[in-house]
Structures are given as structure tokens and as C-alpha cells.
């Protein structure tokens, strides 16, 4: 009796998942507003920190060392701008699937030319900031979490552990974008606390603004991390129907 050769043996019949068609870039309408907001934020903030004029700073500088504080802010914001735009490109599925090489290059730019310098400088500007101590603690926390999640994600990508890479980089994206969302929270808290200006704050607008700053710093990154966690644990109908069980998408 001849045994069937393993080379010629017929393939066992396995149920095949329906082929996943790559959606066109314009089928991802969220990427356009995301990039517009990222570029708009950078265009609105960065120029004030490239003039080498401390008078242009949009935040209060330390009276004892305004030039050094301004310089730290300028470098932080320059590299933060690279990080914000790079991380917005990284979560674009069309770019990731169509040009994986670009994803790898932009990923390195995000980590090494964005988060590393911007995150270390964020620690410095958090410590010397003129906001209340509770706000400074909140900023130090987000700096550490941003650096930690990004480098964990980078490590996992190098080890080709893409499930963990995806999780860490979604946290990193959420923390990076908390800086933009923080400005929205400032407006929300300001509107919420305005009715208390003449009662609880006895007309002290500065005290109210100080509370708005602290509340928005903490809310900005905590809410974003909660949304990221929900996103990671959700079970989208489309993915359940079409994705093979073993395939792990890299990114959102
Ligand atoms: C996620 C980690 C980050 C932390 C913890 C952080 C922290 C800080 C702190 C403490 C300040 C000084 C605020 C003050 O003294 O009142 C600051 C300023 C600033 N940061 Fe960051 N930052 C981070 C990421 C980014 C990113 C990714 C950008 C993107 C461009 C950015 C843009 C800015 C800008 C524009 C300012 C000047 C304030 C303003 O004009 O609104 N930061 N940051």
C-alpha cells in the first residue's frame, strides 16, 4: 500500500473567511478631520515658540528664568508637533495596509523624533510650569505614561508582538491627543464654572481659571484613556464577521 506523499496530499478542507477588501483612503472620512485638527493645532501654537521672544509665549513663564523656560517650551512644542502629526498618520489603516514601509518609518519618527524628546521635555515643563501643584502632578503623570506606553509599543513592534504593540500604541495615541482635547475641556470647564464666579469664587477669576486648568489637565488624559480602553475591548460587528481568528490588525 502506498502512502500519499505529503507533497501531493490534498489540502484539508477548511472554512475560508471571505476576502477582506482594503477600503479606499477616502472611505475613512475621519482621517481628514483628524489631520486638519492636528495641523491646525500645530499652526496655531508652534509659531509663537519659534520667535525666540519670551513675550510671544502663550503660557505664563517662570519669572526667575523666563528665557530658559521659553526655550524648554519651544523644544517641547517643536518635537510635540512632530509627534502629533506622526501619530495621526500611524492610525490611518489605509496608509498602514497600503504602504507598511511608510508606517514603519513614520513610527520610528514618532517614537524617536517625537515622543522621546517631547516627552522628556514635557517632564521638565510640567515641573517648572506655573499651574497649581495638582496640575503639575497630572502633567508629570501623563508624560510618564506617554513615554512608557510608546516605548512599550515600540519594543513589542520590534519583537513582532503586534497585538501588544497595537494596544500600547493606542494608549500612546490617546495620551498624545489628550493635549489637543485638553483645550476643549478648558472651554467646557470654563463655561461650567462661570456661574460660580461671583459666589464660590467671590469674583476671583484667577482662582477659577486655576481650577479650570487643573481639572482640564486630569480630565483630558483620563477620559482619553477610558475611550481607548473601550475601543480596544469593543467587539465590532464587521470584524467578528470577516476577520480570520488568527489575524491581528496592527493599529486601530
Ligand atoms: C503628552 C504629553 C505632554 C505633556 C505632559 C505636555 C505638557 C506640557 C506642559 C506642562 C506645558 C506647559 C503648560 C504651562 O506651563 O501652563 C506644555 C505646553 C505646551 N505643549 Fe505640551 N505636553 C505634552 C505633549 C504635547 C504635544 C504632543 C504637543 C503637540 C504639539 C504639545 C504642545 C504644547 C504646546 C503648544 C504648549 C504651549 C501651551 C499652549 O500654547 O497651549 N504638547 N505642555
Distance from the CA of 80 to the center of ligand 1, in angstroms?
8
Contact 185, 215 (CB under 8 A): yes
- How high does pLDDT run on average in the chain? 88
In the predicted structure, residue 29 carries a pLDDT above the cut 80 = no
Residue 22: its pLDDT value, please?
63
pLDDT score at 163:
97
Arithmetic mean of pLDDT, 173-184: 98
- Name the DSSP class of 129: -
Alpha-carbon distance 123 to 56, whole Å? Answer: 22
- What value does the mean pLDDT take over residues 138-147? 98
Q: 68 vs 244, which has greater pLDDT?
A: 68
How far is the C-alpha of 170 from the C-alpha of 165, rounded, in Å?
9
| Residue 181 pLDDT | 97
Query: What are the cell numbers at 70?
Result: 521659553
| CA 125/CA 135 separation, integer angstroms | 12
pLDDT exceeds 90 at position 8: no
- Could you tell me how many helices (H) and strands (E) the chain has, helices first? 9, 0
For 126-141, what is the mean pLDDT? 98
Pocket test for ligand 1, best of 125, 138, 206, 213 (most atoms within 8 A of CB): 125
Angle between helices 31-45 and 66-90 (to 10 degrees): 170
Looking at the predicted structure, is the pLDDT value of residue 100 above 90? Answer: yes
Quote the CA–CA distance of 81 and 204 in Å, as a whole number: 34
Report residue 236: phi and psi, to 5°: -65, 140
Question: Looking up cell 482662582, which residue turns up?
Answer: 207
Query: By alpha-carbon position, which residue is closest to atom 4 of ligand 1?
Result: 122
Q: Quick one: what percent of the chain has pLDDT higher than 90?
A: 81
Query: Between 165 and 12, where is the model more confident?
Result: 165
Residue 5, pLDDT score: 40
235-246 per-position pLDDT tens digit:
766 555 554 444
Instruction: Give residue for cell 476671583.
Output: 204
Ligand 1 atom nearest to CA at 45: 35
Q: Does the pLDDT value for residue 125 go beyond 70?
A: yes
Site residues for ligand 1, CB cut-off 6 Å = 42, 45, 58-59, 73, 76-77, 80-81, 83-84, 118, 122, 125-126, 129-131, 139, 142-143, 146, 175-176, 179
Rounded mean pLDDT of 200-224? 98
* Mean pLDDT, residues 100-115 taken together: 98
For residues 21-40, average pLDDT: 82
Helix axes 133-158, 100-110, angle to 10 degrees: 140
How is residue 151 written as a grid cell? 516605548
The least confident of 26-40, 81-95, 148-162 is 26-40
**Global pTM?**
0.86
Q: Which atom of ligand 1 is nearest to the CA of 58?
A: 40
CB within 8 Å of 148: residues ≥ 6 apart:
none
Residue 44 has pLDDT above 80, yes or no: yes
The whole-number pLDDT of residue 238 equals 53
Q: What is the pLDDT of residue 3?
A: 44
pLDDT band at 6 (very low <50, low <70, confident <90, very high): very low
Amino acid at each position: 500500500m502506498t502512502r500519499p506523499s505529503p507533497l501531493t496530499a490534498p489540502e484539508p478542507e477548511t472554512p475560508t473567511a471571505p476576502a477582506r477588501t482594503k477600503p479606499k483612503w477616502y472611505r475613512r472620512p475621519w482621517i481628514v478631520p483628524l489631520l486638519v485638527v492636528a495641523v491646525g493645532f500645530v499652526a496655531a501654537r508652534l509659531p509663537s515658540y519659534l520667535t525666540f521672544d519670551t513675550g510671544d509665549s502663550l503660557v505664563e513663564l517662570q519669572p526667575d528664568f523666563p528665557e530658559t523656560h521659553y526655550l524648554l517650551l519651544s523644544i517641547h512644542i517643536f518635537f510635540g508637533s512632530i509627534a502629533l502629526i506622526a501619530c495621526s498618520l500611524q492610525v490611518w489603516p489605509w496608509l498602514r495596509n497600503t504602504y507598511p514601509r511608510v508606517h514603519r518609518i513614520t513610527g520610528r519618527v514618532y517614537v524617536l523624533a517625537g515622543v522621546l524628546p517631547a516627552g522628556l521635555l514635557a517632564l521638565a515643563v510640567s515641573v517648572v510650569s506655573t499651574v497649581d501643584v495638582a496640575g503639575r502632578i497630572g502633567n508629570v503623570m501623563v508624560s510618564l505614561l506617554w513615554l512608557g506606553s510608546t516605548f512599550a509599543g515600540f519594543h513589542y513592534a520590534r519583537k513582532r508582538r503586534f497585538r501588544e504593540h497595537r494596544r500600547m500604541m493606542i494608549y500612546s495615541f490617546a495620551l498624545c491627543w489628550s493635549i489637543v482635547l485638553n483645550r476643549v475641556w478648558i472651554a467646557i470647564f470654563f463655561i461650567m464654572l462661570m456661574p460660580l464666579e461671583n459666589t464660590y469664587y467671590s469674583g476671583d477669576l484667577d482662582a477659577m481659571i486655576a481650577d479650570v486648568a487643573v481639572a482640564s489637565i486630569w480630565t483630558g488624559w483620563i477620559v482619553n484613556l477610558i475611550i481607548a480602553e473601550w475601543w480596544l475591548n469593543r467587539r465590532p460587528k464587521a470584524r467578528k464577521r470577516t476577520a480570520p481568528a488568527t489575524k491581528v490588525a496592527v493599529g486601530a
